[in-house]
A and B are shown apart, each in its own frame.
Chain A
Amino acid sequence: MNVMDTRATSAMLYLDGVHVSFDGFRAINNLSLALEPGEMRAIIGPNGAGKTTMMDIITGKTKPDVGVVLFDGVTDLTRLDETRIAELGIGRKFQKPTVFESQTVQDNLLLALNVDHSVRGTLFWRGSKAESERIDKVLETIRLTEARNRLAGSLSHGQKQWLEIGMLLAQDPKLLLVDEPVAGMTDVETHLTAELLKEINKTHTVMVVEHDMTFVRELGVKVTCLHEGTVLAEGSIDQVSSNERVIEVYLGR
């Protein structure tokens, strides 16, 4: 029903003319952008530029007033709820790291695995070799093998960020939305995170929202700068950071 007959665009994610306003305040204002499959895109912009709201729209948490939001060129996301969108293969990492604090690291990953998520499925679930291997692998990737049996709540801030990214890996979506992954990380952690994201990007399409310019620079990918809910500039980090308006509203002189 919500699949269009012809593939409208080649893009993995395609937003066009999207508007949202909360009692008068225009959070998103005629926003349009496209992510090609396999691409990694960095989104920058001052606070209140609408970065998180954009992610809310893509993941179905917020419905746009008007505008097109296409996933994989065929699916209209504005008509679906979070669960359905997640099932389609869009994973999201929150601005503030959100993990299941009262459960262990590996249970967090277990919950994230994209296996049968129905009530019956989980009620009669049996552990399988394949699943435990996947989890071990992810634990490797996010360097939390040691901490697998610790409660997620007892992890350090950086570890939580990683765990959440790890959960996305376990979920293995087509498109990852990553909101401020390195907020509050040490330089070392930041560097490692950048590596991690590049690694992930080999197999997934990724959208990263981040303030940390050195980090964005390190990613070395196409950058979109949002301002007041609309695209201000787009291009390589150098082009964008040399853009007059961007400097004015965001980077400052």
Chain B
Amino acid sequence: MTPHMLTRSLDRGATMFLAIVAACGILIPLSNLLLPAGSFFQVPTYLVALWGKYVCYAILALSIDLIWGYCGILSLGHGAFFALGGYAMGMYLMRQIGTRGVYGNPILPDFMVFLNYPKLPWYWHGFDMFWFAALMVLLVPGLLAFCFGWLAFRSRVTGVYLSIITQAMTYALLLAFFRNDFGFGGNNGLTDFKDILGFNVQAEGTRAALFMLSCLGLIVSFLICRAVVSSKLGKVLIAIRDAESRSRFFGYRVESYKLFVFTLSACMAGVAGALYVPQVGIINPSEFAPGNSIEAVIWVAVGGRGTLVGAALGAVVVNYAKTFFTSGVLAPYWLFMLGALFILVTLLLPKGIVGTFNAWRESSSEKRAAASAAAEGGITEPNMAE
């Protein structure tokens, strides 16, 4: 098997993936808006919202795969970055409600009125401006990840220890956001949004637009991840994943690499959260629950750790299964299925769906591989020659 084949096959997958995402991003909203309701090809609004949610999860999965699949950092607290991004967006949406809240208070969100806050807490200022909120969506998760990573990686906290303290981080945030004194609406979180950039969040058009945006977000973050992993930095990341101290002895500052990719992935998670909130219409502390983060990791495992397409695919597959199993006669048993899925995948498909698929097609095309290998020469740098 040659890297050339490898990247080729990956690239075909990648392009195919991008094409499909793009197509969905266009076709689904169009069919939802243009086709008459009830016609067979018309995608009802609730499915648009639903798939919009999946797409956001896919972005989250990508961000996790970037650090886990390529750098071996298993974060069990990535839900925290997702949620923080979501809260930043949620705060913007809350400020947009203005006088339409039940108490008609122009400044204070409803929960502040009935917990009689005298005035808006300082950290809520600025969120009435979209650009500011958008900035925070990237900044807050990024900053937290940077500080956390700077501490953890510099003091060489690795493997299980890192996973556990990331879990501690998200758990601490969970408790903090539960507190009503914290000023983020406590357990109820932020909800009952009215409009975003002047468009009604519940209007079909807005939903369609949000869905398109999410797809765009997925495409962009996918391209970013591709760019990172297929650069030399990507090779270094894999080197760190496979033999950390070896790469140290070659003079690579492992901690800076980890810090870079960890922060990048946190920002991506934040974006995912920001796209997620207006579509599901609520953000609350349960998003910080360690369980959620673990589940997200499992999407990646199911789809195929170390394959970007796999990560995204896994997110969609698992969540679709969840949607499917949690209604109708199967409802009482869906946890069995979900649990079983996790066990079986780790046991039988350690490479995940896509990973296994790649392995299969590679082995099947071993011969052609060898042939082209002979033809190959020089440093193989996929996608580098432009």
Q: Give B340-386 interface residues, CB cut-off 8 Å to A.
A: 373, 376, 378-381, 384
Q: Which residues of B contact A81 (CB under 8 A)?
A: 248
How many residues from A make CB contacts under 8 Å with B?
Answer: 39
Q: Give B206-239 interface residues, CB cut-off 8 Å to A.
A: 228, 231-233, 235-236, 238-239
Instruction: Indicate if the CB atoms of B3 and A123 lie closer than 8 Å.
Output: no
Q: Which residues of A contact B252 (CB under 8 A)?
A: 83, 117
Instruction: Indicate if the CB atoms of B251 and A114 lie closer than 8 Å.
Output: yes
Known A-B contacts A149-B376, A167-B250; the reply to A122 vs B245 at CB < 8 A is no
B249 at the interface (CB under 8 A from A): yes
Known A-B contacts A106-B379, A110-B379, A149-B380; the reply to A83 vs B251 at CB < 8 A is yes
Among B248, B256, B380, chain A packs the most CB atoms within 10 A around the CB of B248
Q: Which residues of A contact B266 (CB under 8 A)?
A: none
Instruction: Indicate if the CB atoms of A118 and B4 lie closer than 8 Å.
Output: no
For chain B, what secondary structure do more than half of its interface residues adopt (helix, strand, loop), or is it mixed? Answer: helix
B192 at the interface (CB under 8 A from A): no
A149 to B376, CA, bound (A): 8
A135 at the interface (CB under 8 A from B): yes
Cβ-closest chain A residue relative to B243: A98
How many residues from B make CB contacts under 8 Å with A?
Answer: 34
Instruction: Indicate if the CB atoms of B381 and A127 lie closer than 8 Å.
Output: yes
Write the nearest CB–CB distance from B348 to chain A, whole angstroms: 21
Known A-B contacts A122-B236, A123-B228; the reply to A91 vs B247 at CB < 8 A is no
Cβ-closest chain A residue relative to B231: A123
Instruction: Indicate if the CB atoms of A122 and B233 lie closer than 8 Å.
Output: yes
Among A91, A118, A131, point to the contact of B249 (Cβ < 8 A): A91
A234 at the interface (CB under 8 A from B): no
Known A-B contacts A119-B260, A132-B379; the reply to A86 vs B248 at CB < 8 A is yes
Q: Which residues of B contact A103 (CB under 8 A)?
A: 235, 238-239, 242
Known A-B contacts A110-B232, A118-B253, A125-B231; the reply to A102 vs B238 at CB < 8 A is yes
Q: Which residues of B contact A94 (CB under 8 A)?
A: 246
Instruction: Indicate if the CB atoms of B236 and A111 lie closer than 8 Å.
Output: yes
Instruction: Indicate if the CB atoms of B249 and A117 lie closer than 8 Å.
Output: no
A123 to B4, CA, bound (A): 20
Instruction: Indicate if the CB atoms of B250 and A86 lie closer than 8 Å.
Output: yes
A183 at the interface (CB under 8 A from B): no
A232 at the interface (CB under 8 A from B): no
Instruction: Indicate if the CB atoms of B3 and A112 lie closer than 8 Å.
Output: no
Instruction: Indicate if the CB atoms of B233 and A125 lie closer than 8 Å.
Output: yes
14 A-B pairs with CB atoms under 8 Å apart are A83-B254, A99-B243, A100-B239, A101-B242, A104-B380, A110-B235, A111-B250, A117-B253, A122-B231, A122-B233, A123-B232, A149-B3, A149-B373, A149-B380
Query: What would 12 more interface pairs be, CB under 8 Å, given A59-B249, A98-B246, A125-B233?
Result: A82-B248, A83-B254, A86-B248, A94-B246, A101-B243, A103-B238, A117-B250, A119-B256, A122-B236, A123-B231, A123-B233, A149-B3
Rank and list the top 3 A-B pairs by shortest CB-CB distance, nearest first.
Answer: A86-B251, A125-B232, A122-B233
Residues of B within 8 A of A (CB): 1-4, 228, 231-233, 235-236, 238-239, 242-243, 245-254, 256-257, 260, 373, 376, 378-381, 384
